[in-house]
Amino acid sequence: MRFIRLAVAVDRPAVGLGELIARSDVDLLQLDYRRPRRTPAVRRERFPEFAAGFVETLAGLQREFFLQSDLTLAASAGWSNSMLCVEQAAAALCQGGNGNVPISAVRGSNLLPILEFIEGSGVSLRHAVTDRPFRELREPVVAADLEIGAGPFAMALAEGARVLVSGCFCPSAPAIAAAAQAHGWSWSDYGRLAGVVAASRGALWPAGMEPAVNTGVERHPARLRPVVAEVDQQGGFTLTGPAAGVEHAAKTFEHWIAAGAPPGGKFRSADVTGSLDGVRCAPAHQDQLAVSGVTGTGPSDKWRLNIYYQRGFTAALLLEIESESGFRAPENLTEALEATLSAEAESSDSVDVERLQSQRDPGDAPRWLSVTCHTRSKEACTRVVDACLAFVARYDSHLHLVGSSPTVMVDYDIWPAWVPRDAVDLAIDTRTADEWR
């Protein structure tokens, strides 16, 4: 079972997927749509209902769905409204003549409407890392996404779905479901399931650069090429791509995957627990690594819940230091700017002014000032921005704002918790695109 996993932009279509699918011959394309950790403070709704970029991306894959009948696409684009996301995705497929493509909406990952009920029913929402009780979280909660496991996706695949949409899922869930179906695994084949977890992580190994090609007839520029993971019957896997062909790639991958694992290499996914401590990697073919040694230790009875809460406000500005007017900027200009902005912030806020130099001419004096502020209140952040713009206007012979006026943004952080998998109800709704309209 061959698959590619990509993290993609939430608000615009992913570029080049059609060509990537055609060249890679994959069974599963997994698109990870992560909720933004920062949104404009002027927006009434903190988050959109779903990732609008997914609908545009799907609309650009009409040819691939027509020509490659074995292609499956899984996306965590539904966020708080998987049904609406699927309805619009279905409309896009129908417009391209793919009304017979089965689409599944996997619902139940959005726990924000029932978060108080879940806690009141006795489910612990203690912080998964610090063990702090949930009641200590005083900041506003804006989203609660459950990383659902492979079971619902396996059911959707059994119903013939080719497009799987959920609000959130465990990163390895779609690949586990696809591999279990392709190889006929049992849910108690923990070693094999653990291998897919590692393959899913390996699929995010930084992409390698594919060199430019000039055949005399066609010219293809150099481009980044993601890793293709292929899982075999025994749960071992290969990683194929330019990144796997560089010198010492095997050792680099072993260090990379170990660095992302908890101490001791132990991991817990939605479907299996295991260890990456014994992972071994060796060259297989050109631009390909073979990976083995992942062990599965047992089932997982809990799913991770990501609770998004409002942490504060932030703004960033880039200022250019004028050097061609014949007047040299004062030496203490940076210190004066930082003092001016800090006076507008509260004691718990932070304001940073950093000098930036050109990499091309590192010996030159700093040419830019990067200004960032992080505040507890929107009002304090706005005051800092206004003070910075006023400072630039006062010293307009030395400073210029690069780009447009900055936007005050809301910062979010995640409170992770583990929730028993039987504490929530899920639903799988599979229909053809025509039937979704």
Query: Residue 112 and residue 20: Cα distance in Å, rounded?
Result: 36
What is the model's pLDDT at position 324? 54
Q: What is the pLDDT of residues 353-406, one digit of tens each?
A: 998 877 766 656 668 899 999 999 999 999 999 999 999 999 888 899 998 889
**Range with lowest mean pLDDT among 22-31, 45-54, 113-122, 422-431:** 45-54
Predicted confidence (pLDDT) per residue in 162-183, tens digit? 999 999 999 999 999 999 999 9
Return the percent helix, strand and coil in the chain, to nearest 5. 30, 30, 40
Query: What is the Cα–Cα distance from 105 to 276, expressed in whole angstroms?
Result: 32
In the chain, domain spans: 2-306+415-436, 312-412
Ordered DSSP codes for 155-216: HHHHTT-SEEEES-B-TTHHHHHHHHHHHT--TT-HHHHHHHHHHHHHTTSPPEEEPPEE-S
Q: Is the pLDDT of residue 191 over 70?
A: yes
Distance CA 281, CA 283 (A): 7
Strands 350-356 and 409-420: unpaired
CATH of span 312-412: 3.30.70.100
Confidence of residue 223 (pLDDT cuts 50, 70, 90): low
- Work out the mean pLDDT of the chain and round it to a whole number: 91
| Residue predicted with more confidence, 111 or 356 | 111
pLDDT of 258 reads 85
Q: How far apart are CA 217 and CA 388, in angstroms?
A: 54
pLDDT for 67: 81
List residues bridging with 298 in a β-sheet: 273
Q: Model's pTM, two decimal places?
A: 0.90
pLDDT tens digits, 314-351: 999 999 987 655 455 566 788 899 999 999 999 899 99
Q: What is the pLDDT of residue 437?
A: 85
**Look-up of token digits 């900027």:** 329
Distances (CA, A) of 22 to 18, 26, 58, 71, 81: 6, 8, 15, 10, 31
Min mean pLDDT across 116-120, 124-128, 151-155, 203-207 is at 203-207
Question: Distance between CA 48 and CA 43 in Å, rounded?
Answer: 10
